[in-house]
Chain A
Amino acid sequence: GESVGLHLPTLSVQEGDNSIINCAYSNSASDYFIWYKQESGKGPQFIIDIRSNMDKRQGQRVTVLLNKTVKHLSLQIAATQPGDSAVYFCAERASSNTGKLIFGQGTTLQVKP
């Protein structure tokens, strides 16, 4: 069946360093992926997305990389700040008709001052 997972439950980085959060997915037919950020006590918030016809997409301080060969997705955060501390989820679109998403379990990013 479909599943989306993250490699590490917790990632701890020093403020100012770059962070890399990884995600593996199993459905090779998936064509759309999203990264969400969830701060404590809040709902998930959209960060960046990527379609399967791309292998890289950049936003402000964030970059998403997609490797369809090994079904791997990563989120890179440049110059990590204390405000980046949160749980990060990758999500995979299960069906283009319904908008249904399957979420991974999440990686907690801890930024040390």
Chain B
Amino acid sequence: NAGVTQTPKFQVLKTGQSMTLQCAQDMNHEYMSWYRQDPGMGLRLIHYSVGAGITDQGEVPNGYNVSRSTTEDFPLRLLSAAPSQTSVYFCASSRPGHGKETQYFGPGTRLLVL
């Protein structure tokens, strides 16, 4: 298993540009989530999904959209990038209700918005 994969690893955007951060997992996990990590702030939940076709907002959803058309993929879309969205983004997945609700994290995407 490749686990949780994220692309790209690093991205530079100009203010107002849009882009999609890709996340995929091959563990057949129902639950997937997106976090952003800023210095001194820990990880903050952006959006999450408990299964294909179901998404919900986390702690800091503004400026981001998600969709979950398949179990494997959970892309995060920045509609109009702002410098405040400069951060490291982590995707995670887990199988709630199966004894170990550990979230497996991807390697992260570093985003710089100029």
Binding site for B on A (CB under 8 A): 9, 32, 34, 36, 41-46, 49, 89, 93, 96-106
Determine whether the beta carbon of B108 is less than 8 Å from that of A98.
no
Report the bound CA distance from A3 to B93 in whole Å.
22
A99 interface neighbour in B35, B41, B103, B108, Cβ under 8 Å? B103
The answer to whether B11 has its CB under 8 Å from any CB of chain A is no
B16 to chain A, nearest CB (A): 29
B41 interface neighbour in A32, A101, A105, Cβ under 8 Å? A105
B53 to chain A, nearest CB (A): 15
Some 19 contacts from A to B, beta carbons below 8 A apart, are A32-B101, A41-B108, A42-B108, A43-B4, A97-B50, A97-B96, A98-B50, A99-B31, A99-B33, A99-B50, A100-B33, A100-B48, A100-B58, A101-B45, A103-B35, A103-B42, A103-B43, A105-B42, A106-B42
A63 to chain B, nearest CB (A): 18
Main secondary structure of the interface of A (DSSP, over half): loop
Chain B, interface residues (CB within 8 Å), range: 20 to 34
The chain B residue with its CB closest to the CB of A6 is B42
Other A-B contacts than A43-B92, A46-B104, 11 sampled, CB-CB below 8 A, are A32-B101, A42-B107, A43-B105, A98-B48, A98-B50, A99-B50, A99-B96, A99-B103, A105-B40, A105-B42, A106-B42
Binding site for A on B (CB under 8 A): 4, 31, 33, 35, 40-45, 48, 50, 56, 58-59, 90, 92, 94, 96-97, 100-108
Known: A42-B107, A43-B107, A98-B31. A89 touches B43 (CB 8 A): yes
B108 interface neighbour in A9, A43, A100, Cβ under 8 Å? A43
Please give, as numbers and ranges, the residues of chain A lying within 8 Å of B31 by CB-CB distance. 98-99
Report the bound CA distance from A106 to B42 in whole Å.
6
Report the bound CA distance from A43 to B106 in whole Å.
6
Give 9 nearest A-B pairs by CB, closest first.
Answer: A43-B105, A99-B96, A105-B42, A103-B43, A99-B31, A103-B42, A46-B102, A44-B105, A99-B94
The chain A residue with its CB closest to the CB of B29 is A99
